[in-house]
Amino acid sequence: MPSPTQTDSSFFYVLDERMRLLFADDDPILREFAKVHLATESATVLTAGDGEEAWAALRRDAFDLALVDLEMPKLDGFELVKRIRSTPRTAHLPVVVCTGREDIAAIDRAFECGATGFVTKPINWRLLSYQVRFVMRAHRTENSLEQARAGTEGAQAGSMARAMMRESAELLSMAMRGDEAMRDAARRYAAVLGDLVSAEAAVKSRQAA
């Protein structure tokens, strides 16, 4: 595949990373243009003719990014973006609005509903390809950072849990030397700690597999 560093006369695909795109617009010509201009060896483009059809596709299949018109029958783009953001399965899906509207009210409302980007018609497909690539890379970078933070927090939590279990073991040892009531309570607590230790060992085993 040609590289972007080649001469201006050399063609190359902007969307050179694997992704699935949904293009929702009631204009059949634009839907065909989307397939021609956005689909590449790596990028797959599926289309929807209205908001309800787009929503059904999003519930049925997994997509990496949605491109949504605002003026659509059955369910307009504003309401579609709201549904996307209010549903856990699609809440973090990047959504780029592609619309003929460029008034302040439409722009503000689109972003209030949860749009990630905003592109006005007539669409410059090459520029749109670059915006899609930028949005996708930013989204993936953000996900990687969140996973890294979660891993760090998980490690810290595990370390704290192990320290607590060591201290609990010392307390249990002291309690077992006390009266019968203390010994019974210590036995019950020891059983709970044993379950926690077994659960942690199982998690480590799965991670190592």
Query: Tens place of pLDDT for every residue, the chain, 209 residues?
Result: 444 444 455 888 899 899 999 999 999 999 999 999 999 999 999 999 999 999 999 999 999 999 999 999 999 999 999 999 999 999 999 999 999 999 999 999 999 999 999 999 999 999 999 999 999 988 888 887 777 776 655 555 555 555 555 555 555 566 556 656 556 666 666 666 666 666 666 666 666 66
pLDDT at position 66 is: 98
81 neighbors 113 (Cβ within 8 angstroms): yes
CA distance 25 to 7: 34
CA distance 115 to 18: 22
pLDDT at position 124 is: 96
CA distance 77 to 7: 39
pLDDT at position 3 is: 46
Alpha helices in 74-179 (DSSP H): 77-86, 104-113, 125-175
pLDDT at position 6 is: 46
CA distance 112 to 92: 15
Q: DSSP 3-state assignment of 141?
A: helix
pLDDT at position 176 is: 58
pLDDT at position 144 is: 77
| Beta strands, E only, the chain | 19-24, 43-48, 65-68, 95-99, 117-120
CA distance 85 to 51: 14
CA distance 53 to 46: 11
CA distance 146 to 130: 24
pLDDT at position 27 is: 97
The structure's pTM equals 0.67
CA distance 97 to 68: 5
57 neighbors 30 (Cβ within 8 angstroms): no
Q: How many C-alpha atoms does 29 have within 13 Å on its Cβ side?
A: 2
pLDDT at position 58 is: 98
CA distance 202 to 128: 47
pLDDT at position 85 is: 97
